[in-house]
């Protein structure tokens, strides 16, 4: 057997172990989500310097000219977000914080179309290249301020915020359709909550705390603002 074939076997074993040992124990049991995690090649969205850790149970640094602290979420958290959003193939989805493009690729595999917003132009370009190489055609990578959402394309069936926020900006909630779902990480270290927010009416929202975690903040110059409700 060639070294390349051996390497391929090792990658598939690592992917299998990630799903069985990290993701299933985190209550991710939706067969469609598990299938996508096996199909969408996470290693193709990981910087070359960290490919050996593509399936590790950690946040991975992805850098970018604007901020060296940006990361990919842990695989189990990405999987939970995908499951909780319950994406349908007719949904239009917004992601805030594109990073390397991996979460956008997962969302796109379930949705009709995904708009993803990245504040760092260098990372946005990397994500575009990664998505193109992976033949993901139903994603548009936009450069912009994630806290503002993407009002020009609203309303959305689902919104995924791929970085933590101190509070949820009301402007984001208003970009959900009635019946739409949003998952975000809200709070400050050492305790943040992954929240599922469902818009149940014109001015009505239902919020469920899914689990406690700590994830890197959404990169944004205005994150320190305090929102008054």
For the chain, which domains are there? 3-213 (3.40.50.150)
Residue 133 pLDDT > 90: yes
How is residue 217 annotated by DSSP? B
Q: Who wins on pLDDT, 197 or 71?
A: 197
**Is the Cβ–Cβ distance between 90 and 158 less than 8 Å?**
no
pLDDT at 9 over 70: no
Q: What pLDDT score does 70 carry?
A: 79
Give the 3-state secondary structure of residue 188: strand
Q: What is the pLDDT of residue 218?
A: 86
pLDDT level of residue 62 (50, 70, 90 thresholds): confident
Is pLDDT above 80 for 219?
no
Contact 183, 195 (CB under 8 A): yes
Judge whether residue 223 has pLDDT over 50: no
Q: Which residues pair with 186 in a beta bridge?
A: 165, 193
DSSP character at residue 22 = I
**Encoded tokens for 3:** 């070294």
Calculate mean pLDDT across residues 194-218.
95
Long-range contacts of 4-12 (CB under 8 A, 24+ apart): 11/43
Is residue 216 very low, low, confident or very high in pLDDT (cuts 50, 70, 90)?
confident
Among the ranges given (60-74, 95-109, 203-217), the one the predictor scored with the smallest mean pLDDT: 60-74
Report the alpha-carbon distance of residue 3 to residue 35 in Å, rounded.
Answer: 27
Q: Any residues with CB less than 8 A from the CB of 206 and at least 6 apart, and which?
A: 197, 198, 200
- pLDDT recorded at residue 144: 93
Pairwise CA distance, residues 165 & 220, whole Å: 10
pLDDT at 229: 32
Specify the pLDDT at position 156.
Answer: 98
pLDDT score recorded for residue 103: 97
pLDDT number for residue 56: 94
**What mean pLDDT value characterizes the chain?**
89
The predicted-structure confidence for 162-179, as pLDDT tens digits, reads as follows: 999 999 999 899 999 999
Q: Which residue has 């260098």 as its token pair?
A: 122
Q: Count the Cβ atoms, other than its own, within 10 Å of residue 112.
A: 14
């Amino acid at each position: 057997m060639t070294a390349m074939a051996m390497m391929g076997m090792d990658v598939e074993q690592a992917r299998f172990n990630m799903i069985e040992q990290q993701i299933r124990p985190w209550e991710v049991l939706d067969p469609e989500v598990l299938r996508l995690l096996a199909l969408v090649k996470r290693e193709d969205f990981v910087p070359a310097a960290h490919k050996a850790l593509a399936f590790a149970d950690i946040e991975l640094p992805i850098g970018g000219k604007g901020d060296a602290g940006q990361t990919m979420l842990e695989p189990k958290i990405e999987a939970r977000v995908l499951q909780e959003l319950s994406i349908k193939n007719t949904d239009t989805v917004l992601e805030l914080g594109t990073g390397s493009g991996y979460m956008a690729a997962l969302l796109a595999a379930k949705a009709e179309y995904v708009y993803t917003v990245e504040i760092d132009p260098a990372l946005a370009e990397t994500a575009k290249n990664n998505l193109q190489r992976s033949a993901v055609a139903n994603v548009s990578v936009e450069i912009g301020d994630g806290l503002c959402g993407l009002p020009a394309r609203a309303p959305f069936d689902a919104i995924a915020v791929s970085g933590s926020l101190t509070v949820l900006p009301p402007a984001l909630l208003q970009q959900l359709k009635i019946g739409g779902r949003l998952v975000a990480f809200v709070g400050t270290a050492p305790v943040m909550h992954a929240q599922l927010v469902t818009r149940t009416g014109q001015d009505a929202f239902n919020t469920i705390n899914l689990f406690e975690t700590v994830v890197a903040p959404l990169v944004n110059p205005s994150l320190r603002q305090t929102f008054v409700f």
